[in-house]
Amino acid sequence: MPGPKPTGSATNWELTGNVVIFDSSASPQDQRMDSSPQLRHIVQAMAEQDPTKLPTPSSCTADFCLVPIGTPTASVSKEVAEVQRLLKKSGVKYSMHSAGTTIEGTWEECMRIIGQCHTMLHSNGVVRIQSDIRVGSRTDKKQSFDDKVSAVNKLLAEDKQ
């Protein structure tokens, strides 16, 4: 059963955690709607008005692997090190692993940083880059990539008992 239709002009939509703020001119009480039962209805209403104004998720994790193509050697450790230096300077939370890097932040931050990694490698002479990117987002709760790993490690620890 769909939730109540949003009122007001509905021109300024924003997804913040588990809450959709849909009209900056409405009272604060009317602006915030719990996304669990009502998010689908709100997003459908937004898409009917103008799908290009749909918000991006407020937070996400992105696992990415940049693959430089046409480098003089098979090794890409220099390029990986450059990406890690950029991530360190960016201030975003990140974790390198053997097949790429996981970052977390807002949708915009994650996409911007991945784009900046491309630009940096291009500026260092890499003429072609292919990227594999997996992005995850949740609306039911906040969960970092550390939380996800901890949950699995907890289950594995129970196996040892």
Same domain? 89 vs 120: yes
Same domain for 26 and 84? Answer: no
CA 112/CA 70 separation, integer angstroms: 24
Q: Is residue 70 part of a domain?
A: yes
- Asked if residue 95 belongs to a domain, the reply is yes
DSSP 4: P
Distance CA 55, CA 132 (A): 23
Separation between Cα atoms, residue 118 and residue 120, nearest integer Å: 5
Q: Are residues 24 and 80 in the same domain?
A: no
83 in the same domain as 47: no
Residue 44's pLDDT band (cuts 50, 70, 90): confident
Predicted confidence (pLDDT) at residue 60 exceeds the cutoff of 70: yes
23 falls within a domain: yes
CB of 106 within 8 A of CB of 90?
Answer: no
Number of domains in the chain: 2
| Domain, as residue range, for 104 | 60-148
Any domain includes 159: no
Greater model confidence, 106 or 50: 106
Q: Would the pLDDT of 147 be above 50?
A: yes
Token output for 140: 């039911």
Given 34, 53, 72, which residue is the final one in a domain? 53
Over residues 44-49, the mean pLDDT reads 80
Say yes or no: 77 and 127 in one domain.
yes
Secondary structure string (H, E, C) spanning 6-65: CCCCCCCCEEECCEEECCCCCCHHHHEEEHHHHHHHHHHHHHHHCHHHCCCCCCEEEEEE
Same domain, 37 and 110: no
- The reported pTM is 0.70
Do 70 and 20 share a domain, yes or no?
no
95 and 77 in a common domain = yes
In-domain check, residue 8: no
Comparing 126 with 44, which gets the higher pLDDT?
126
pLDDT tens sequence across 109-122: 999 999 999 999 99
The pLDDT of residue 50 is above 70:
yes
How far apart, in Å, are the Cα atoms of 132 and each of 9, 129, 138, 153?
39, 10, 21, 26
